[in-house]
Amino acid sequence: MIDIQSLDLFYGEFHALKNVSMFLPEKSITAFIGPSGCGKSTLLRTLNRMNDMIKTVKIKGTVTIHGNNIYEPEVNVELLRKRVGMVFQQPNPFPKSIYDNVAYGPRIHGTKKKSELDDIVEKSLRDAALWDEVKGDLKKSAYGLSGGQQQRLCIARALAVNPEVLLMDEPTSALDPISTLKIEELIQQLKEKYTIVIVTHNMQQAGRVSDQTAFFLNGEMVEFSETDTIFSNPVDQRTEDYVTGRFG
Protein backbone atom coordinates (compact mmCIF):
# COMPACT_ATOMS: atom_id res chain seq x y z
CA MET A 1 0.00 0.00 0.00
CA ILE A 2 2.77 2.45 0.93
CA ASP A 3 5.61 2.16 -1.52
CA ILE A 4 8.84 4.01 -0.87
CA GLN A 5 11.23 4.03 -3.82
CA SER A 6 14.88 5.19 -3.77
CA LEU A 7 14.17 7.88 -1.25
CA ASP A 8 16.93 10.33 -0.41
CA LEU A 9 16.46 13.16 2.05
CA PHE A 10 18.82 16.03 2.79
CA TYR A 11 18.76 18.55 5.61
CA GLY A 12 20.74 21.20 3.74
CA GLU A 13 23.99 19.40 2.97
CA PHE A 14 23.37 16.61 5.45
CA HIS A 15 22.31 13.36 3.83
CA ALA A 16 19.81 11.99 6.36
CA LEU A 17 18.14 9.21 4.35
CA LYS A 18 20.10 7.24 1.79
CA ASN A 19 18.33 5.45 -1.01
CA VAL A 20 15.59 3.91 1.11
CA SER A 21 13.14 1.56 -0.62
CA MET A 22 10.46 -0.43 1.14
CA PHE A 23 6.90 -1.60 0.76
CA LEU A 24 4.42 -1.48 3.64
CA PRO A 25 1.40 -3.74 3.09
CA GLU A 26 -2.09 -2.67 4.06
CA LYS A 27 -3.23 -3.36 7.63
CA SER A 28 0.17 -4.35 8.84
CA ILE A 29 2.34 -3.01 11.62
CA THR A 30 5.84 -1.97 10.67
CA ALA A 31 8.48 -1.03 13.25
CA PHE A 32 11.42 1.27 12.56
CA ILE A 33 14.35 0.60 14.83
CA GLY A 34 17.91 1.86 15.01
CA PRO A 35 20.21 4.01 17.10
CA SER A 36 19.45 7.64 17.82
CA GLY A 37 19.93 9.91 14.83
CA CYS A 38 19.74 7.15 12.22
CA GLY A 39 16.74 8.78 10.50
CA LYS A 40 13.70 6.89 11.83
CA SER A 41 11.67 9.99 12.62
CA THR A 42 12.78 11.63 9.41
CA LEU A 43 11.53 8.70 7.34
CA LEU A 44 8.28 8.58 9.30
CA ARG A 45 7.70 12.27 8.60
CA THR A 46 8.20 11.77 4.88
CA LEU A 47 5.06 9.63 4.87
CA ASN A 48 2.74 12.50 5.82
CA ARG A 49 5.02 15.27 4.57
CA MET A 50 5.57 16.80 7.99
CA ASN A 51 9.11 17.46 6.73
CA ASP A 52 7.63 20.14 4.48
CA MET A 53 7.70 22.42 7.49
CA ILE A 54 11.48 22.23 7.71
CA LYS A 55 12.88 24.74 5.21
CA THR A 56 16.19 23.01 4.51
CA VAL A 57 14.71 19.65 3.56
CA LYS A 58 15.22 18.32 0.02
CA ILE A 59 13.75 15.04 -1.09
CA LYS A 60 14.50 12.76 -4.03
CA GLY A 61 12.71 9.54 -4.93
CA THR A 62 9.05 8.70 -4.56
CA VAL A 63 6.54 7.71 -1.93
CA THR A 64 3.29 6.35 -3.29
CA ILE A 65 0.19 5.49 -1.35
CA HIS A 66 -2.29 3.33 -3.27
CA GLY A 67 -0.28 4.22 -6.34
CA ASN A 68 -0.51 7.99 -5.83
CA ASN A 69 2.80 9.80 -5.55
CA ILE A 70 2.42 12.03 -2.51
CA TYR A 71 5.27 14.30 -3.60
CA GLU A 72 3.68 15.44 -6.81
CA PRO A 73 3.11 19.20 -6.88
CA GLU A 74 -0.67 19.01 -7.15
CA VAL A 75 -1.00 16.93 -3.97
CA ASN A 76 -3.23 18.48 -1.32
CA VAL A 77 -1.08 18.09 1.77
CA GLU A 78 -3.99 18.64 4.17
CA LEU A 79 -5.89 15.82 2.54
CA LEU A 80 -2.81 13.60 2.69
CA ARG A 81 -2.38 14.25 6.41
CA LYS A 82 -6.03 13.52 6.98
CA ARG A 83 -5.48 10.07 5.48
CA VAL A 84 -2.09 9.54 7.12
CA GLY A 85 -2.44 10.38 10.79
CA MET A 86 0.39 10.87 13.25
CA VAL A 87 0.99 10.38 16.96
CA PHE A 88 4.00 12.01 18.58
CA GLN A 89 6.53 11.05 21.21
CA GLN A 90 5.24 13.52 23.77
CA PRO A 91 1.47 13.54 24.22
CA ASN A 92 0.39 16.88 22.74
CA PRO A 93 -3.31 17.41 23.41
CA PHE A 94 -4.67 20.90 22.76
CA PRO A 95 -5.54 23.03 25.79
CA LYS A 96 -9.20 22.29 25.16
CA SER A 97 -11.76 19.85 26.51
CA ILE A 98 -11.44 16.13 25.82
CA TYR A 99 -14.40 16.41 23.47
CA ASP A 100 -12.98 19.37 21.56
CA ASN A 101 -9.63 17.65 21.18
CA VAL A 102 -11.21 14.71 19.39
CA ALA A 103 -13.73 16.85 17.50
CA TYR A 104 -11.01 19.23 16.27
CA GLY A 105 -10.12 17.26 13.16
CA PRO A 106 -13.66 16.44 12.00
CA ARG A 107 -14.62 20.09 12.55
CA ILE A 108 -11.87 21.52 10.38
CA HIS A 109 -12.77 19.00 7.70
CA GLY A 110 -16.34 20.23 7.67
CA THR A 111 -18.40 18.14 10.08
CA LYS A 112 -20.71 20.56 11.84
CA LYS A 113 -23.68 18.56 13.10
CA LYS A 114 -23.57 18.00 16.82
CA SER A 115 -24.98 14.48 16.61
CA GLU A 116 -22.42 13.47 14.00
CA LEU A 117 -19.59 14.92 16.05
CA ASP A 118 -20.88 13.14 19.14
CA ASP A 119 -20.78 9.85 17.27
CA ILE A 120 -17.29 10.42 15.93
CA VAL A 121 -15.98 11.44 19.35
CA GLU A 122 -17.44 8.37 21.01
CA LYS A 123 -16.26 6.01 18.31
CA SER A 124 -12.74 7.44 18.24
CA LEU A 125 -12.43 7.34 22.02
CA ARG A 126 -13.66 3.74 22.01
CA ASP A 127 -11.16 2.82 19.29
CA ALA A 128 -8.43 4.45 21.37
CA ALA A 129 -9.53 2.43 24.43
CA LEU A 130 -10.18 5.58 26.39
CA TRP A 131 -13.97 5.88 26.27
CA ASP A 132 -14.75 4.05 29.50
CA GLU A 133 -12.32 6.19 31.46
CA VAL A 134 -13.52 9.57 30.21
CA LYS A 135 -17.13 9.20 29.05
CA GLY A 136 -18.41 11.22 32.01
CA ASP A 137 -15.76 13.93 31.68
CA LEU A 138 -15.87 14.89 28.03
CA LYS A 139 -16.18 18.57 28.85
CA LYS A 140 -13.19 18.54 31.17
CA SER A 141 -9.78 19.80 30.12
CA ALA A 142 -7.53 17.29 28.43
CA TYR A 143 -4.73 18.46 30.72
CA GLY A 144 -6.42 16.76 33.66
CA LEU A 145 -5.66 13.35 32.15
CA SER A 146 -2.61 11.24 32.97
CA GLY A 147 0.22 11.03 30.44
CA GLY A 148 -0.95 7.64 29.20
CA GLN A 149 -4.53 8.83 28.87
CA GLN A 150 -3.34 11.95 27.05
CA GLN A 151 -1.46 9.78 24.59
CA ARG A 152 -4.56 7.67 23.95
CA LEU A 153 -6.50 10.92 23.54
CA CYS A 154 -3.99 11.96 20.89
CA ILE A 155 -4.54 8.61 19.19
CA ALA A 156 -8.30 9.24 19.33
CA ARG A 157 -7.74 12.69 17.88
CA ALA A 158 -5.80 11.13 15.00
CA LEU A 159 -8.44 8.43 14.44
CA ALA A 160 -11.30 10.94 14.42
CA VAL A 161 -10.55 12.08 10.87
CA ASN A 162 -10.78 8.51 9.68
CA PRO A 163 -7.24 7.92 8.41
CA GLU A 164 -5.97 4.79 6.70
CA VAL A 165 -2.45 5.03 8.02
CA LEU A 166 -1.28 5.80 11.53
CA LEU A 167 2.31 6.93 12.08
CA MET A 168 3.58 6.70 15.64
CA ASP A 169 6.91 8.19 16.69
CA GLU A 170 8.01 6.54 19.93
CA PRO A 171 4.45 6.81 21.27
CA THR A 172 5.24 5.18 24.59
CA SER A 173 8.69 6.52 25.40
CA ALA A 174 7.22 9.16 27.73
CA LEU A 175 4.93 6.70 29.49
CA ASP A 176 5.04 4.34 32.46
CA PRO A 177 5.07 0.54 31.86
CA ILE A 178 1.35 0.05 32.45
CA SER A 179 0.33 2.85 30.09
CA THR A 180 2.85 1.47 27.63
CA LEU A 181 1.25 -1.95 27.78
CA LYS A 182 -2.20 -0.44 27.22
CA ILE A 183 -1.01 1.42 24.16
CA GLU A 184 0.69 -1.69 22.81
CA GLU A 185 -2.55 -3.66 23.17
CA LEU A 186 -4.34 -0.83 21.49
CA ILE A 187 -1.92 -0.82 18.57
CA GLN A 188 -2.59 -4.54 18.05
CA GLN A 189 -6.32 -3.88 17.90
CA LEU A 190 -5.94 -0.92 15.59
CA LYS A 191 -4.19 -3.12 13.07
CA GLU A 192 -7.54 -4.51 12.01
CA LYS A 193 -8.51 -1.17 10.54
CA TYR A 194 -5.30 0.75 9.98
CA THR A 195 -1.87 0.44 8.45
CA ILE A 196 0.53 1.31 11.25
CA VAL A 197 4.15 2.42 11.31
CA ILE A 198 5.80 2.73 14.70
CA VAL A 199 9.22 4.07 15.63
CA THR A 200 10.60 2.59 18.80
CA HIS A 201 13.77 2.25 20.81
CA ASN A 202 12.25 -0.59 22.71
CA MET A 203 13.27 -3.92 21.13
CA GLN A 204 10.69 -5.89 23.10
CA GLN A 205 8.04 -3.50 21.92
CA ALA A 206 9.04 -3.91 18.30
CA GLY A 207 9.04 -7.67 18.83
CA ARG A 208 5.65 -7.67 20.54
CA VAL A 209 3.64 -5.45 18.24
CA SER A 210 5.06 -5.43 14.75
CA ASP A 211 4.70 -7.73 11.74
CA GLN A 212 7.80 -6.47 9.98
CA THR A 213 10.75 -4.46 11.19
CA ALA A 214 13.20 -2.18 9.45
CA PHE A 215 16.61 -1.54 10.96
CA PHE A 216 18.33 1.74 10.12
CA LEU A 217 21.88 2.93 10.56
CA ASN A 218 23.20 6.37 9.58
CA GLY A 219 20.33 7.02 7.18
CA GLU A 220 20.58 3.65 5.47
CA MET A 221 18.05 0.90 5.72
CA VAL A 222 20.26 -2.02 6.69
CA GLU A 223 17.63 -4.72 6.81
CA PHE A 224 13.89 -5.02 6.43
CA SER A 225 11.95 -8.22 6.89
CA GLU A 226 9.54 -10.15 9.09
CA THR A 227 9.96 -9.09 12.70
CA ASP A 228 10.73 -12.67 13.76
CA THR A 229 13.52 -12.87 11.20
CA ILE A 230 15.02 -9.56 12.29
CA PHE A 231 15.14 -10.61 15.90
CA SER A 232 16.02 -14.30 15.64
CA ASN A 233 17.80 -14.70 12.35
CA PRO A 234 19.00 -11.43 10.84
CA VAL A 235 21.01 -11.49 7.65
CA ASP A 236 23.24 -8.52 8.39
CA GLN A 237 25.81 -8.65 11.17
CA ARG A 238 25.04 -5.04 12.17
CA THR A 239 21.38 -5.88 12.67
CA GLU A 240 22.30 -8.78 14.86
CA ASP A 241 24.66 -6.62 16.92
CA TYR A 242 21.96 -4.03 17.39
CA VAL A 243 19.05 -6.28 18.31
CA THR A 244 21.17 -8.29 20.71
CA GLY A 245 22.41 -5.12 22.36
CA ARG A 246 26.04 -5.56 21.33
CA PHE A 247 25.95 -2.39 19.29
CA GLY A 248 28.44 0.45 19.75
Ligand X SMILES: Nc1ncnc2c1ncn2[C@@H]1O[C@H](COP(=O)(O)OP(=O)(O)OP(=O)(O)O)[C@@H](O)[C@H]1O
Choices 58-66, 77-85, 127-135, 185-193 (CB under 8 A): range interacting with other proteins: 77-85
Give yes or no for residue 54 binding ligand X (CB under 6 A): yes
Give yes or no for residue 49 binding ligand X (CB under 6 A): no
> Least distance (Å) from other proteins to the CB of residue 88?
6
Give yes or no for residue 41 binding Mg ion (CB under 5 A): yes
Bridge pairing between strands 57-65 and 29-33: unpaired
Residue 38 to residue 115: CA distance in whole angstroms: 46
> Which of 37, 116, 143, 247 forms a contact with ligand X (CB under 6 A)?
37
| DSSP for 6-50, written as a single string | EEEEEETTEEEEEEEEEEE-TT-EEEEE-STTSSHHHHHHHTTTG
> Least distance (Å) from other proteins to the CB of residue 150?
7
Residue 168 to residue 199: CA distance in whole angstroms: 6
Give yes or no for residue 150 binding other proteins (CB under 8 A): yes
Give yes or no for residue 92 binding other proteins (CB under 8 A): yes
37 versus 144: smaller Cβ distance to Mg ion: 37
7-26 residues near ligand X, rule: CB under 6 A: 11, 14, 16
Residue 216 to residue 171: CA distance in whole angstroms: 19
Q: Is 80 left (phi over 0), alpha (psi -120 to 50) or beta?
A: alpha
> Least distance (Å) from other proteins to the CB of residue 207?
27
> Least distance (Å) from other proteins to the CB of residue 120?
12
Element (H, E) at 170: none
